[in-house]
């Protein structure tokens, strides 16, 4: 099935904050001064005709090491002279491939030019599949808690439902981006249950009908 599902939401007019969805878990966040691409996935993404060469961004945020979340991260960062922000292991791997990176780890946050980013827990796996079917460990899978222009946005990455989501919800989320695809992540029922913990003003489902 080839759905084309590119949507944009103008979250606030002033200061301007805009969110664009390219399908799967791939989003562009535009703040007044910065463009952040979350979990780049274009060439193999059946939901978007957009190609990575058409994206302009200052930062590439990567939730975990599976290729449907970061296969084009290095290409994107290099083409834009941008910085990849991810966990420590992924940052090291992509830095070795010639990208500028900034690594942190779950529970840690950093204040960067676009705002504040905390990596949260995610219950999932995270590895690069080598051609021989062995897996290169790429650190803990994460969610991304981004606060830019005073608006907290949570991109859950690929995760199961977990009770500590209520700690993430305590910040008063404006937006939660939640996987609903089942099998590899939360399904719909668990994603709906997660809203009791996260209590966002707006929730957007992601990571479904891609494969
Ligand atoms: Ni994954
Ligand atoms: Mn995935």
pLDDT per residue as tens, the chain (211 positions): 345 567 888 887 787 889 999 999 999 999 999 999 999 999 999 999 999 999 999 999 999 999 999 999 999 999 999 999 999 999 999 999 999 999 999 999 999 999 999 999 999 999 999 999 999 999 999 999 999 988 999 999 999 999 999 999 999 999 999 999 999 999 999 999 999 999 999 999 999 999 8
Q: Model pTM? A: 0.96
pLDDT of residue 10: 83
pLDDT of residue 2: 47
Tell me if 120 sits within 8 A of 153, measured CB to CB: no
146, 74, 107, 145: CA torsion to nearest 10: 10
Query: DSSP assignment of 160-197, as one string?
Result: ---TTHHHHHTT--SEEEEE---SSS--HHHHHHHHHH
User: What distance in angstroms lies between residue 13's CA and the mean position of ligand 1's atoms?
Assistant: 33
pLDDT of residue 1: 39
pLDDT of residue 116: 98
Residue with tokens 């808690």: 145
Of the listed ligands, the closest to the CA of 64 is 1
Of the listed ligands, the closest to the CA of 181 is 2
User: What distance in angstroms lies between residue 149's CA and the mean position of ligand 1's atoms?
Assistant: 29
Of the listed ligands, the closest to the CA of 211 is 2
Give CA–CA dist 137/56, Å, rounded: 29
pLDDT of residue 5: 61
pLDDT of residue 7: 83
Beta-carbon neighbours within 5 Å of ion ligand 2: 66, 68, 158
Give CA–CA dist 69/24, Å, rounded: 9
pLDDT of residue 11: 82
Of the listed ligands, the closest to the CA of 207 is 2
């Amino acid at each position: 099935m080839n759905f084309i599902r590119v949507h944009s939401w103008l979250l606030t007019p002033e200061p301007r904050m805009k969110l664009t969805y390219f399908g799967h878990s791939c989003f562009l966040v535009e703040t007044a001064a910065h463009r952040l691409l979350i979990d780049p996935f274009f060439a193999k993404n059946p939901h978007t005709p957009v190609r990575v060469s058409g994206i302009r961004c200052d930062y590439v945020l990567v939730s975990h090491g599976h290729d449907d979340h970061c296969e084009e991260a290095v290409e994107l960062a290099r083409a834009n002279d941008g910085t990849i922000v991810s966990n420590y292991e992924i940052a090291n791997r992509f830095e070795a491939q010639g990208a500028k990176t900034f690594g942190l780890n779950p529970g840690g946050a950093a204040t960067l030019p676009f705002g504040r980013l905390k990596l949260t827990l995610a219950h999932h796996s995270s590895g690069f599949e080598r051609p021989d079917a062995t897996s290169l460990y790429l650190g803990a899978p994460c969610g991304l808690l981004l606060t830019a222009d005073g608006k907290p946005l949570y991109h859950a990455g690929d995760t199961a439902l977990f009770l500590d989501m209520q700690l993430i919800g305590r910040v008063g989320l404006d937006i939660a981006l939640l996987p609903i695809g089942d099998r590899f992540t939360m399904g719909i029922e668990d994603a709906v249950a997660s809203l009791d913990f996260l209590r966002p003003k707006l929730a957007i489902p992601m990571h479904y009908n891609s494969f």
